[in-house]
Amino acid sequence: MANNTLTVTDNRTGTSYTLPIEHGTIRTMDLRQIKTGPEDFGLMGYDPAFTNTASCRSSVTYIDGDRGILRYRGYPIEVLAEHCSFLEVAYLLVWGELPTQAQMNDWVYQITHHTMVHETVKKLLEGFRYNAHPMGMFVSTVAALSTLYPEAKHVEDAEIRKHQMFRLIGKVPTIAAYCYRHSKGYPYVYPDNDLSYTGNFMNMLWRMMEPKYVANPVLERALDILFILHADHEQNCSANAMRSVGSALTDPYLTTAAAASALAGPLHGGANEAVLRMLDEIGSKQNVPAYIKRIKEGHSKLMGFGHRVYKNYDPRAKIIKWTAERVFEATGRNTKLDIALELERIALEDEYFVKRKLYPNVDFYSGIIYQAMGFLPEMFTVMFAIPRTAGWLAQWNEMLTDPEQKIARPRQVYTGEQERAFVPLEKRGAVATAR
């Protein structure tokens, strides 16, 4: 049996320490014993942006960035995207196993019967300007649900947690659709319990005066696949926000709003919207080489490319690319796809991107599909947040039931002033640095 330990020598004292290695990690707390004397606080680890820090033990999602592997609860994303519905995958993420038919029937019933939102949500949305960004409306409205379900603050109660997870997974499509309808000035459409999760979402988005909405089955399935691909991605920025805020025992609505706020950033879930704006800016295939040149000169990043973990092709991007072709067979080819394909072709051959292991990520093609389906770029990150709510809740639920977890409170390396004498306002000279 290999000796799973690490022996380090502190050259300041000549003392050696042997630290246990478990799951390819050392406990950073084991560094605290390394001191130069009894007054010394002891060593900490310093890891800005947590590039090499495991914050938790999780069994939800596994990623192998070098081999381009993504599995939810051990099932390859390719298999789930081909054989499952999004709600089936949401069940898998939250509860850890694929549902039996009886479990699936109950799960679908519960989610379906929690799609309605309190009528007060409409009044809240009416307070937003017509051109308010849907992500700002979405985050605010999800947070506002906290005021409707005060029992949700009892996060230690498994049954209460389960009920809130039904509500959040059920209501986020309704909230998203209501945000879209508000921005278009259209009346809100109530959920239709006869429809699938994605079919109902399309109904609430696009039904106008027809008595019953009938979803295009190709688009309905494409959306379901996109939701599966976006459902979770281990300890990404927004999942970290979910775990950190949730560790304070904040209710799941405010916690989910915090996670959605992280997702809104252009380096995270906001990238899909940024990709479309980038493709609009490029304008044509002929302009791609000049744009690539600007990227290599450091003027901007190639949105939808690169990933903190994947140093190979994002497996989700491959499936999205396949899905895009199916969508365009139904909607007509989107010229932006041609620009995107040319951008990818050139980038994958260019040393700048190859050396940095920059490949298309999940956001590179998803926006093109959403636009072909009729969504405006402002809605793209909301489209990401809907399925990711299931992943955030799976991470949140796991964190709350992990005996090792407690309120997240990192340390710091202090680089500020040492103690200094206070100078009263009247005695502070003009030489003080202007702020």
268 catalytic residue (yes or no):
yes
- Judged by CB under 6 A, the stretch of 21-29, 211-219, 250-258, 359-367 that binds ligand SDX is 359-367
Number of Cβ atoms within 10 Å of the Cβ of 414: 7
Nearer to ligand SDX, 87 or 274 (CB): 274
Stretch that binds ligand SDX, among 8-16, 137-145, 190-198, 295-303 (CB under 6 A): 295-303
Give the span between the Cα atoms of 420 and 120, in whole angstroms: 53
Which of 362, 373, 382, 383 binds ligand SDX (CB under 6 A)? It is 362
* Closest approach of ligand SDX to the CB of residue 348, in Å: 13
Question: Which residues does residue 6 pair with via DSSP β-bridges, in sequence order?
Answer: 19
Q: Looking at beta carbons only, is 92 or 204 nearer to ligand SDX?
A: 92
Site size toward ligand SDX, by CB under 6 A: 22
Residues in the chain, overall count: 435
Handedness of CA 97, 226, 328, 176 (dihedral sign): positive
Rank residues 54 and 330 by Cβ distance to ligand SDX and give the closer one: 54
- Sign of the dihedral defined by the CA atoms of residues 58, 6, 30, 44, in that order: negative
- Determine the longest span between alpha carbons in the chain, in angstroms: 80
Beta carbon of residue 364, minimum distance to ligand SDX (angstroms, whole number): 7
CB of 317 vs ligand SDX, minimal distance in Å? 10
Q: How far is the CB of 102 from ligand SDX (least distance, A)?
A: 31
Q: CA-CA distances (angstroms) from residue 408 to 26, 55, 244, 298? A: 19, 9, 5, 35
Give the whole-angstrom CA distance, residue 316 versus residue 289: 26
Contacting ligand SDX (CB under 6 A), which of 61, 196, 247, 361?
A: 361
Query: How many whole angstroms separate alpha carbon 308 and alpha carbon 317?
Result: 15
Least gap, CB of 260 to ligand SDX (angstroms): 12
CB of 392 to ligand SDX, least distance (A): 10
The residue written with tokens 């051959």 in the block is 349
Query: Tokens 């308010």 label which residue?
Result: 132
Contacting ligand SDX within 299-358 (CB under 6 A): 301-309, 356, 358
Q: Among residue numbers 47 through 76, which ones bind ligand SDX (CB under 6 A)? A: none
Residue 301 or 326: which CB sits closer to ligand SDX? 301
| C-beta neighbour count of 278 within 10 angstroms | 24
| Cβ proximity to ligand SDX, 170 vs 387, nearer residue | 387
Nearest to 300 by CA among 269, 328, 333, 278: 278
Q: How far apart are CA 207 and CA 200, in angstroms?
A: 10
Angle value at C-alpha 272, between 269 and 273, nearest 5 degrees: 105
Nearer to ligand SDX, 176 or 302 (CB): 302
Catalytic pick among 10, 118, 268, 402: 268
Question: Which residue minimizes CB distance to ligand SDX?
Answer: 306
Q: Which of 232, 233, 307, 314 is catalytic?
A: 307
DSSP for 353-372 reads: HHHTT--B-HHHHHHHHHHH
Which residue from 234, 233, 224 is spatially nearest to 202, judged by alpha carbons?
224
Q: Which of 84, 168, 222, 271 binds ligand SDX (CB under 6 A)?
A: 271
Q: Pick the closer one to ligand SDX by CB: 204 or 231.
A: 231
Percentages (nearest 5) of helix, strand, coil residues in the chain: 55, 5, 40
- 267 touching ligand SDX, by CB under 6 A: yes
CA-nearest of 396, 400, 394 to 93 is 394
Residue 309 Cβ, how far from ligand SDX at the closest point, in Å? 6
Binding to ligand SDX in span 200-239, by CB under 6 A? 233, 236-237
Whose Cβ is closer to ligand SDX: residue 144's or residue 393's? 393
Task: Pick from 71, 122, 268, 318 the residue near ligand SDX by CB under 6 A.
Answer: 268
Which among 170, 164, 166 has a CA at the least distance from the CA of 201?
170
CB 282 within 8 A of CB 327: no
- Rounded least distance, CB 233 to ligand SDX, Å: 3
- Given the rule CB under 6 A, which of 121-129, 277-285, 298-306, 338-346 is the region that contacts ligand SDX? 298-306
Q: Do 334 and 368 form a contact (C-beta atoms < 8 A)?
A: yes
Q: Which residues are catalytic?
A: 268, 307, 363
Q: Which residues bind ligand SDX (CB under 6 A)?
A: 233, 236-237, 267-269, 271, 295, 301-309, 356, 358, 361-363
